[in-house]
Amino acid sequence: MNFVAFKYFNEVAKTKSIRRAADRLHIAPSAVSRQLVQLEHSLGALLVERTNVGIMLTPAGEMVERYTLGMFNDLERLQASIKDFKGLQEGEVKLCVMDGIVSGFLPRVISEFNAQYPAINFTVTSDSTDRMIEALIRNEADIAAVYNSRPRDEIEVVAEHVEPVVCLLSKDHPLANRASLSLAEICDVPVALPLGSFGLRQIFDRAIAARKLSARVMLSTNKLELTRGIALAGRAVTIGPRLSAMREIQEGLLKAVPIEEPEFAGAKSTICVHRERPLSYAATEFLKKIAKEFAMIGDIDYSGVPQVERP
C-alpha cells in the first residue's frame, strides 16, 4: 500500500476538503485527488463522496479513516519512543481543556513545566466537554481537562475535584447581593448559556426539565468567554464553575452566587486520558504535573490570596 496515499486521505478525512488538505500538506489539490483515486483503486472501493458542502466519507472511507488514525498515532508513539530511548527531552503534548483554566491555571503549569523541559512544546485547544472526550477517544489529544463529563469505558479519570456550578452575574445586577439563588429565580431573568454539547449546559437542561421550568435563554454559544462577557454587561446572568471566571471574580467584576439545587453542588472538573493509549514521555511527565496541580485548585482563594502556601 502507498503510505503517501494514506497520509493524504487522512488529511482529507480530517478537513473534509481536498483543498484544505492540500493547503495543510503544502501541495496542489490535484496531487491529493490523484492519490485518493489511486487508493480507491487499490482498495477496490469508493472512499469519498463530493457534495456541495465538502467531502463526505463513505462507509468504506470511515473504515479507512479509523485505520489511518491508528496508523499515524502509532507512528507518533514510535517516534516519541525512539526519542525516549535516545534520552532526548523532546516531544509534543496535545491538550484539550475547558475554557476556564486557559487564562489562569494552565499558563502557570505549562510555564513551570517548560522551565524543566524547554524542548517540549504544547498544542492546546478548548471545546465542549463531549468534543474533548471524543478527541481523547480518537487519539487526537493526549490529556483533557473537562467539566462534568459522563463516564465512558474508554476514559480514565486521573484527577478530579468538586467544582460547584454557580450563578455568575455582574456586581451591579439586582441579584448580585443574594446569598444564594434558586433555579426558578435564574430562569426568571435572561440567561446566557453554552451549547448543548457542553457538560455545563447538560446539567442546566436536566435540572430545569426535572422541575418543569423554562429558561429565558438570551444567548447560546460555544464560547464561554462570550457568556461571561454578557454577564459582565449586566443584561443577563450565566452559570459556571468559579474556576471559569476566576479572573473576573478576583477583579470584583463578577459575583459568584451559589445555586440552591443539589445537582449543581456536586459537579466535578476532571483530568482524563484514554484508558488504553500509552502516552509519550513528554505527555506522561506533564500528566504527573497537571494532575498534582489540579488537585490543589480547591486551595485557591478567589479573592486572589492563596489559602495555603505551595511547597
For 3-37, how does the pLDDT look when each residue is reduced to its tens digit (9 = 90+)?
A: 888 888 888 988 988 888 889 888 998 988 898 89
For the cut 90, the answer to whether the pLDDT of residue 184 exceeds it is yes
Where in the sequence of the chain do the CATH 1.10.10.10 domains occur? Answer: 3-79
- Its sign, for the CA torsion 277, 280, 281, 285, is negative
* Topology of domain 3-79, CATH: Arc Repressor Mutant, subunit A (1.10.10)
State the cell numbers at 270.
476532571
Q: What are phi and psi of 47, to 5 degrees?
A: -105, -30
* Rounded-to-integer distance, Cα 177 and Cα 251, Å: 16
Tell me which residue of 116, 118, 124, 119 sits closest to 143, measured CA to CA: 124
Q: Are 283 and 144 in contact (CB under 8 A)?
A: no
Where in the sequence of the chain do the CATH 3.40.190.290 domains occur? Answer: 165-265
Where in the sequence of the chain do the CATH 3.40.190.10 domains occur? Answer: 89-162+268-299
Query: Across-strand partners of 92?
Result: 121
Instruction: Give the pLDDT score at 2.
Output: 76
Instruction: Give the pLDDT score at 79.
Output: 74
Instruction: Give the pLDDT score at 278.
Output: 85
For the cut 50, the answer to whether the pLDDT of residue 232 exceeds it is yes
Beta-strand relationship, 165-170 and 237-241: antiparallel
For the cut 70, the answer to whether the pLDDT of residue 216 exceeds it is yes
Instruction: Give the pLDDT score at 308.
Output: 34
Tell me which residue of 297, 300, 269, 264 sits closest to 167, measured CA to CA: 264
Q: Are 92 and 120 in contact (CB under 8 A)?
A: yes
In tens, the pLDDT along 51-80 reads: 887 888 999 989 988 888 878 877 877 777
In tens, the pLDDT along 254-305 reads: 999 999 988 888 888 889 999 988 888 888 889 999 998 887 765 444 334 3
Instruction: Give the pLDDT score at 142.
Output: 94
b/e per residue 112-126 (b: at least 16 CB within 10 A): ebeeebeebeeebeb
In tens, the pLDDT along 101-159 reads: 666 678 889 999 988 888 888 999 988 888 899 999 888 899 999 887 888 899 999 98
With residue 269 as reference, give the H or E element that holds it: strand 268-274
Give me the amino acid identity at 171.
K
CATH 1.20.120.420 fits domain 165-265: no
| The overall pTM is greater than 0.95 | no
Instruction: Give the pLDDT score at 235.
Output: 87
What CATH code would you report for 89-162+268-299?
A: 3.40.190.10
